[in-house]
């Protein structure tokens, strides 16, 4: 065995050597890889010859292979199977790797070569992809401080290193609060109203957390939402709701309030160093939206009809509660409970009736089937691979001609060592610069794990999440570009959600539900009349859903429009923003700031949480194109979707890519219709 366990392997599909990677391997592994990458960068920067695309840009793209391999393993496992030892290394390595990449983008000699190529790009005879990579590389370097003075670069390095430390602490604090919390249900009275699926998972949780014979509800989203929908114990709903909304705001060692304040201030300093008025201006300059004003316009256009609908929904819930003898006003911990009652009456079904039809294995099969119909993909489960956790499943993905496309990993169940939420990531990205390198893509979920021998049952929201993340996965797996910089999901932040959100549309098609929504006990398909009721309910509670999302997006934008905020009471600022937009009292933000990992556990969605809505304008318009043909698997549209969206990576500007697929830019009307707000 090589001394480097992160080397390229001859294991099936080139998977990392998970079985032989130990925690003690990471520090020396990072040291070797960082040293190797520095040497490669120095060689490019000190090249005595004139800069060319090949000896500068292509060589830069090829550099850092060893570092990419160890980072892919480490950062994926930090999110999916972390312990205290791994988290300690995370705290150590976050600022070191942040400094490393900043040293590259502020390398004066290296940037001089890139800048010279950029200034003469029209005469270089580059093909469109090469030109795109050169332009993106130049812009990335400029946005990372390549044109700053040495003093400015020194200050920027300090900011980036500190932000890396703070975002890591923020994430670990949220994970600790989730892992520590448990709502112990002592007896049958505490279980009142809960469906069998939640009782079973709660019994399993109790066994694992040292309460055999009892039931434990955790802060996994699937546990939380199901409990809030069905528990008849208002006091327990309130207790769980408080724990859910107070993650990161405990007042103890895991409190994130001071961390958030420092993050906002440092981001503002970073933006001003780079010549922008605010961090929001800096972040949005490299998106489809371009400016905070455009984002504000979209959010305002949706907020008013959504708020009006939500207030109507609350009145309906209050009427229902009053009919049952309630002597209280509907509060946030009541909304899901009474909403489920109203849904059952209005549409003649409830989530408890729906869940047995949404078996995890069947919904996975439905996601695969949709990809087969659209893109000709075939999925074959691979057994016997040594993966990073026993729950992880592997699938060999091939095209219609039998050629290997990707290895897909599915990590579906919640566990204490995994951070909350759902996401797509990769252990290897697609590229053709050094041969036909095929990707290894992973989807991570947090569904409740059922007892042994029982099927995992999903809520409708869970099933949508699975389709959503699989849309991201397809974006990574189908990538067909030469250069890593523009591979897969490396696109504008408010375009990256288009492939995922568009994919959700196929879940609720009768063609999919009729084939894969099979009852867990009887095996019978969901009746056509039931499918019609499910589809008719799609607009139900959309005021609530839109308000909780838009409120989070508005707080995010407002926070990052702060100029010279200094010490900021972020929670107080959150309250003030919600008061300004007249947030309905019985609804909370989808992500309150102390646990808003999208914007504080790294800056990927900072000043960018709006992007889900921006992309929804695109996805609603895009799916309307399929509906207009009368065939949601229309072959010609599917071909254009593959060519210009799913396989194209960041090969062209996002707006140009959408126009190439649709023939025009989208309108907002399909979005309002989709959400029932028109």
CA distances from 369 to 360, 366, 470, 609 (A): 14, 5, 12, 30
Task: Give 12-105+107-147's CATH code, choosing from 1.20.1050.40, 1.10.1060.10, 1.10.510.10, 3.40.50.880.
Answer: 1.20.1050.40
> Is 171's pLDDT higher than 90?
yes
Give mean pLDDT, residues 405-434. 95
Quote the CA–CA distance of 259 and 447 in Å, as a whole number. Answer: 29
Report, in this order, helix, strand and coil percent for the chain, each rounded to 5. Answer: 60, 5, 35
Instruction: List, by residue range, all CATH 1.10.1370.40 domains of the chain.
Output: 356-539
> Is 1's pLDDT higher than 60?
no
Give mean pLDDT, residues 313-326. 97
**51-63, pLDDT tens digit by residue?**
999 999 999 999 9
**351-373, pLDDT tens digit by residue?**
889 999 999 999 999 999 999 99
Give the residue among 661, 47, 544 at the shortest CA–CA distance from 306. 544
Confidence bin at 443 (pLDDT 50/70/90): very high
Confidence bin at 96 (pLDDT 50/70/90): very high
Give the residue among 33, 38, 24, 28 at the shortest CA–CA distance from 72. 33
Residue 355, CB-side half-sphere exposure with 13 Å CA sphere: 20
Instruction: List, by residue range, all CATH 1.20.1050.40 domains of the chain.
Output: 12-105+107-147
Beta partners for 183? Answer: 217
Look up 180 and say whether it is catalytic. no
Task: Give 275-347+541-674's CATH code, choosing from 2.60.40.10, 1.10.1370.10, 3.40.350.10, 3.30.450.20.
Answer: 1.10.1370.10
Quote the CA–CA distance of 416 and 175 in Å, as a whole number. Answer: 8
Confidence bin at 4 (pLDDT 50/70/90): confident
Q: Which residues contact 453 (CB under 8 A, 6 or more apart)?
A: none
pLDDT of residue 351: 84
The answer to whether the pTM exceeds 0.75 is yes
**487-543, pLDDT tens digit by residue?**
999 999 999 999 999 999 999 999 999 999 999 999 999 999 999 999 989 899 999
Instruction: List, by residue range, all CATH 1.10.1370.10 domains of the chain.
Output: 275-347+541-674
**535-583, pLDDT tens digit by residue?**
989 899 999 999 999 999 999 999 999 987 778 999 999 999 999 999 9
Quote the CA–CA distance of 110 and 41 in Å, as a whole number. Answer: 8
Second CATH level (architecture) for the domain 356-539: Orthogonal Bundle (1.10)
How far, rounded to the nearest angstrom, does the alpha carbon of residue 330 sit from its chain's CA centroid? 31
Residue among 40, 469, 504, 548 flagged as catalytic: 469
Give mean pLDDT, residues 438-462. 95
Give mean pLDDT, residues 648-661. 96
**31-41, pLDDT tens digit by residue?**
999 999 999 99
């Amino acid at each position: 065995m090589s001394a480097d366990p992160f080397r390229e392997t001859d294991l099936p599909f080139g998977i990392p050597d998970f079985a032989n990677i130990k925690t003690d391997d990471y520090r020396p592994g990072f040291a070797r890889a960082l040293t190797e990458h520095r040497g490669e960068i120095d060689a490019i920067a000190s090249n005595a010859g004139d800069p060319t695309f090949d000896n500068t840009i292509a060589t830069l793209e090829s550099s850092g292979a060893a570092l990419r391999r160890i980072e892919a393993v480490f950062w994926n496992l930090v999110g999916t199977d972390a312990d205290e030892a791994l988290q300690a290394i995370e705290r150590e390595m976050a600022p070191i790797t942040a400094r490393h990449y900043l040293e590259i983008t502020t390398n004066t000699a290296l940037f001089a070569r890139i800048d010279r190529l950029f200034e003469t790009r029209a005469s270089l005879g580059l093909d469109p992809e090469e030109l795109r990579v050169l332009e993106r590389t130049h812009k990335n370097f400029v946005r990372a401080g390549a044109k700053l003075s040495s003093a400015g670069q020194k200050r920027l390095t300090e900011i980036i290193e500190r932000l890396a430390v703070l975002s890591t602490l923020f994430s670990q604090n949220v994970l600790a609060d989730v892992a520590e919390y448990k709502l112990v249900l002592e007896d049958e009275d505490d279980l009142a109203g809960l469906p069998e699926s939640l009782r079973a998972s709660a019994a399993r949780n109790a066994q694992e957390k040292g309460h055999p014979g009892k039931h434990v509800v955790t802060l996994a989203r699937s546990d939380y939402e199901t409990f809030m929908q069905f528990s008849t114990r208002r006091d327990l709903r309130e207790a769980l709701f408080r724990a859910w909304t107070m993650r990161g705001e405990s007042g103890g060692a895991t409190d994130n309030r001071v961390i958030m304040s420092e993050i906002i201030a440092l981001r503002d300093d970073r933006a001003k160093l780079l010549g922008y008025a605010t961090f929001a201006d800096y972040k949005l300059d490299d998106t489809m939206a371009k400016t905070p004003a455009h984002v504000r316009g979209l959010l305002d256009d949706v907020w008013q009809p959504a708020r009006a609908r939500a207030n109507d929904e609350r009145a309906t819930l209050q009427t229902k509660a009053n009919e049952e003898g309630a002597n209280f006003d509907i509060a946030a911990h009541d909304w899901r409970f009474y909403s489920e009652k109203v849904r059952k009456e209005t549409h003649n079904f409830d989530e408890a009736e729906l869940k047995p039809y949404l078996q995890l294995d069947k919904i996975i099969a439905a996601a695969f089937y949709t990809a087969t119909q659209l893109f000709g993909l075939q999925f074959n489960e691979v057994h016997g691979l040594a993966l990073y956790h026993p729950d992880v499943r592997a699938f060999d993905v091939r095209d219609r001609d039998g050629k290997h496309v990707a290895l897909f990993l599915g990590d579906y169940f919640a566990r204490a060592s995994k951070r909350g939420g759902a996401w797509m990531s990769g252990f290897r990205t697609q590229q053709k610069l050094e041969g036909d390198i095929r990707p290894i893509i992973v989807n991570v979920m947090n569904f409740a794990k059922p007892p042994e021998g029982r099927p995992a049952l999903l809520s409708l929201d869970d099933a949508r999440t699975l389709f959503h993340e699989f849309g991201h996965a397809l974006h990574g797996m189908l990538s067909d570009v030469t250069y890593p910089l523009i591979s897969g999901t490396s696109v504008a932040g408010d375009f990256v959600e288009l492939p995922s959100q568009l994919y959700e549309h196929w879940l609720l098609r009768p063609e999919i539900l009729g084939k894969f929504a099979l009852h867990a006990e009887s095996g019978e398909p969901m009746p056509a009349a039931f499918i019609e009721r499910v589809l008719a309910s799609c607009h139900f509670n959309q005021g609530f859903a839109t308000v909780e999302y838009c409120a989070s997006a508005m707080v995010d934008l407002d926070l990052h429009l702060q100029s010279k905020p200094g010490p900021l009471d972020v929670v107080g600022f959150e309250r003030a923003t919600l008061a300004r937009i007249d947030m309905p009292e019985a609804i909370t933000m989808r992500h309150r700031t102390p646990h808003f990992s999208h914007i504080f556990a790294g800056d990927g969605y900072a000043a960018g949480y709006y992007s889900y809505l921006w992309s929804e304008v695109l996805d609603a318009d895009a799916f309307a194109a399929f509906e207009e043909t009368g065939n949601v698997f229309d072959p010609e549209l599917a071909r254009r979707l593959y060519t210009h969206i799913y396989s194209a990576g960041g090969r062209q500007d996002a707006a140009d890519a959408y126009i190439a697929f649709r023939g025009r830019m989208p309108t907002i009307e399909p979005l309002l219709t989709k959400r029932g707000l028109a």
